[in-house]
Structure 1
């Protein structure tokens, strides 16, 4: 899954792809480098990011989804939003999956909307409100906590009629460095092997801050983590550096 941020304030590529022309050009590069899914993000969720309404998200997306579907029909398009209204817009434009960082907690209509679309839904573990999204919580057992959350939320989704669920343990959201490294080591226990697991560690601060590096200088460390989670059953990697990750995946598959 290649990341396409339409935001002017994302922490590692802010402002690069927030025009339609540059977004389409970057999508083409991501696909050329080996991405199978393009994850479109109209709103940054980094700490202290600008908060947008659904209306503002929709305005920012414009006709990018429909143009991408026309120009790159082979690509699967994921829409990164926590708003049901943005999902409805994206569904009408042709998205293939919903990537909701809020687990349905920031918009009460999200689960019903996901069910109505029939699209695959990515469920992420996160703190319960937008305001507390990045508050660091030291959990007694992070793996147990994430699995409790997944159990509760997947039951809700299944009851609503959402059939295709993908789990994201939420690296970079309200977790200590220690807990995130523990999740890397215990990836095989996340999600009960019942649903596909998505891992998004690309350019996350729990990797680069302890090393005293920038988000753009940790590709080697990131690929080592990608290999670790692939070996434990991760099925989707959400990344900025698609070409490098494609090599990691090829090497992993060759060794299997």
Structure 2
């Protein structure tokens, strides 16, 4: 029997669309968001792309491999990562957003930040969506700025402060907890005037391995069927640590989980390994 906060998955005919700077993106088929970390200290690719030329080359590869969205991350949020100010994030991004837009005008760019000022900068440079891991909790101006830009906003479930984002909390029912959070935050965003919301249940942030596997199994009950779901499990420790493997050696296991969440209605996969995820999406579409 489902708890009150669990809503049965809507039929497969349910579709969503998001407005990215006037460009309507239909989510009737799953999209791939390729990760472009500009950081020297990210957990699996730190330092690989924190130079503008290297970042542009990688952006091109992500797009050629099948990514529709490039998620630019100027700050690592792994445990014990270096904490950057918004000013430092903006300095690290430099002209990369506008460069990608110039080189690949059809690309969609998501900016991974929890700072309103970084969003303002990114908006002026041409970003298409906001990926805020904090759910507006680390910068009180974030929701207002999201509304001002009119961009789609990715709302992630996470602990309420930067200092506690990775503290493991054992919830009585993780699905119930995430849906309570989504209900509260989406109401606030809608009241502020944010029109396009994407939900991210927050794999890898303050959750036990057991709870994250429960989340995988209950993706279809997350988000009330009202908003598209983004799933970001790429190279996450809840997959590789129990297997005794490294983040780079779990592609097969990750793709099996990707297929599982796609079958439960996930609309966006946030990934490092785009070509492999693209094949999984194609496999999913062939089975439909």
TM-score normalized with structure 2 length: 0.89
Alpha-carbon distance in 1 for matches of 2:102, 2:225:
35
Alpha-carbon distance in 2 for matches of 1:224, 1:192:
24
Alpha-carbon distance in 1 for matches of 2:176, 2:105:
40
The yes-or-no answer on 1:181 pairing with 2:181 is no
How much does 1:29 deviate? 0.2
Q: Which segments of 5 or more consecutive residues in structure 2 lack a partner in the other structure?
A: 1-32
**Residues 29-44 of structure 1: matches in 2 within 5 Å?**
29-44=61-76
Aligned to 2:102: 70
Moved over 6 A (4+): none
Give deviations 1:77-102, integer Å, cap 9, x for gaps: 00000000000000000000000000
What is the aligned counterpart of 1:140 among 172, 177, 184? 172
Instruction: Select the structure with the greater relative contact order (CA < 8 A; seq sep ≥ 6).
Output: 2
Aligned to 1:82: 114
What is the aligned counterpart of 2:246 among 199, 204, 214? 214
Q: Which segments of 5 or more consecutive residues in structure 1 lack a partner in the other structure?
A: none
Q: How many equivalent residue pairs?
A: 256
How much does 1:44 deviate? 0.1
How much does 1:131 deviate? 0.1
- SS of match in other structure, 1:131: helix
What is the aligned counterpart of 1:193 among 207, 214, 225? 225
Alpha-carbon distance in 2 for matches of 1:199, 1:11:
18
How much does 1:207 deviate? 0.2
Alpha-carbon distance in 2 for matches of 1:191, 1:72:
33
Alpha-carbon distance in 1 for matches of 2:47, 2:283:
33
Alpha-carbon distance in 2 for matches of 1:158, 1:254:
36
Alpha-carbon distance in 2 for matches of 1:96, 1:122:
11
Aligned to 2:24: none
How much does 1:176 deviate? 0.1
Aligned to 1:95: 127
RMSD: 0.2
Give deviations 1:128-151, integer Å, cap 9, x for gaps: 000000000000000000000000
Alpha-carbon distance in 1 for matches of 2:81, 2:222:
29
The structure in which a higher percent of residues are helix is: 1
Alpha-carbon distance in 2 for matches of 1:80, 1:146:
21
**Residues 99-114 of structure 1: matches in 2 within 5 Å?**
99-114=131-146
Alpha-carbon distance in 2 for matches of 1:147, 1:72:
37
How much does 1:111 deviate? 0.1
- SS of match in other structure, 1:238: strand
Aligned to 2:163: 131
How much does 1:14 deviate? 0.3
TM-score normalized with structure 1 length: 1.00
